[in-house]
Amino acid sequence: MTKMNEPFGVYVHWPFCRAKCPYCDFNSHVRHGGIDEARFLAAYLKELAHFASLTPGRDVTSIFFGGGTPSLMRPGTVAAILAAIGGHWHIEHDAEITLEANPTSVEAENFAGYRAAGVNRVSLGVQALDDQSLKALGRQHTAQEALAAVALAKLHFDRMSFDLIYAREGQTVEAWEEELRRVLDHAADHLSLYQLTIEEGTPFAARHAAGSLRIPDGEQASELYHLTQELCEAAGLPAYEVSNHARPGSESRHNLLYWRGHDYAGVGPGAHSRVTTSGAKRALSAIKSPEVWLTQVETTGRGFASEETLSAAESADEYLLMGLRLSEGIDLERLAAINGNALDDARIRTLESEGLLARHETRLAATRKGRLVLNRLILELAA
């Protein structure tokens, strides 16, 4: 049962990008002719009003502008959305307000405006520290430009993170070690380090299927993963989630809210939400096409593609799936409270003896080795 004083987040999805990166399957679109930003803003405000009517009295503990590329938004648009959130709900005084930015020099010029609008944390998509890799990833910035954006972000924001993609084409363990050491020299309090995933329907997937894109897999991918954990831990940024590292206390509060199974309202094309109403968890997802979403919100005040109430078993599976991504794992008592069933003890013991799971009082977590085979673990536990 969700309590009123549990964390509650607002996610704002901005679905536009300057160019589409060939590995990415996020809901992001390129509109060369530009967009009517004022018209989109009006629709975001309408959707926020709808969510406020579903979740009265909640205190907002975090807000996240994700994308797409939210750093293409005018600071005034960000300020208007934050003002509307503050009008509908109480925003806690220490709420974490993050905006995802691409590290081009043009976007860095907006940092002061975002800070003035109320953003207090940025997350930059640096992706790689060499220009050849950035080109291969289809990025619109050089490594030097990205590092300049990192330095500027540190001046404007108390908290900042950046993302890298590793296990890229042709990347050796030695090359990643050298790159990661440089990354750590520039890191602030948080880093997201993702292994390149081949996403269905992307240009990378086509090249991978045709054999013209080879990326580290199996033994080599796990070596890259373990090296990442070791170097980050030694630098004081241990993993708190499969791909996320932070100085203790600097974990992303907004992302923790997803992994810990708390409620959030997501506005914008393709955004997902989890809100508890009348004691039941509802899962909502918005229409992905920006223009179809816009028209739908303008005419009906909401832009959902699906709305469903999760059963207790579905909620429990979701908590297991998300929570085991975290180093802290899940609370077995909370899991049992969600659907009334405990996990199979014999199965847990077998996975513990394989070194994949560890139990500590009422908590159950995947070990570092276990997080590498998380999908298998979850399937076995949920079976």
Ligand X SMILES: C[S@@+](CC[C@H](N)C(=O)[O-])C[C@H]1O[C@@H](n2cnc3c(N)ncnc32)[C@H](O)[C@@H]1O
Coil/strand/helix, residue 163: strand
Give the whole-angstrom CA distance, residue 322 versus residue 267: 21
CA 107 to chain centre: 20
Query: With CB cut-offs between 5 and 8 Å by kind, which of ligand SF4, ligand X, none does residue 163 bind?
Result: ligand X
Give dist(CA 80, CA 45) in Å, integer. 8
> How far is 182 from 171, CA to CA, in rounded Å?
15
In angstroms, give the least distance from the CB of 143 to ligand SF4. Answer: 16
Only one of the segments 32-40, 195-203, 361-369, 374-382 lies at the binding site for ligand X (rule: CB under 6 A); that segment is 195-203
Alpha-carbon distance of 348 to 360, in angstroms, equals 12
Among 59, 138, 184, 194, binds ligand X (CB under 6 A): 194
CA atoms within 13 A on the CB side of 325: 17
**Residue 165 vs 351, nearer CB to ligand X:** 165
Q: Considering beta carbons, is residue 145 or 263 the nearer one to ligand SF4?
A: 145
User: Judged by CB under 6 A, does residue 69 bind ligand X?
Assistant: yes
Name the residue nearer to ligand X (CB basis): 269 or 329: 269
Q: State the Cα–Cα distance between residues 31 and 226, nearest whole angstrom.
A: 40
Of ligand SF4, ligand X, none, which one does residue 20 interact with (CB within 5 to 8 Å by kind)? ligand SF4
Dihedral sign of CA atoms 135, 137, 139, 142 in order: negative
Residue 103 or 216 having the CB closest to ligand SF4: 103
Query: Taking the complex as a whole, how short is the minimal distance between the CB of residue 185 and ligand X, in angstroms?
Result: 19
Q: State yes or no: residue 23 binds ligand X (CB under 6 A).
A: yes
Alpha-carbon distance 336 to 358, whole Å? 18
Q: Is 165 in the site for ligand X (CB under 6 A)?
A: yes
| Residue in this structure with the two tokens 């964390």, named with its chain if needed | 7
What does 315 interact with, of ligand X, ligand SF4, none (CB < 5 to 8 A by kind)? none
378 binds, among ligand X, ligand SF4, none (CB under 5 to 8 A by kind): none
Distance CA 126, CA 105 (A): 12
Query: Is residue 304 near ligand X by the rule CB under 6 A?
Result: no
Q: Pick from ligand SF4, ligand X, none: which does 75 bind, CB < 5 to 8 A by kind? A: none
Tell me the closest approach of the beta carbon of residue 324 to ligand SF4, in angstroms: 26
Using alpha carbons, select from 5, 67, 54, 89 the residue that is nearest to residue 274: 54
DSSP string over 64-78: EEEES-GGGS-HHHH
Which phi and psi (to 5°) does residue 220 adopt? -70, -40
- Enumerate binding residues for ligand SF4 (CB under 6 A): 17, 20-21, 24, 26, 28, 67-69, 102, 125
In terms of CB distance, is 57 or 201 closer to ligand X?
201
- Would you tell me which residues interact with ligand X (CB under 6 A)? 23-24, 26, 66-67, 69, 100, 102, 125, 127, 163, 165, 194, 196-197, 199
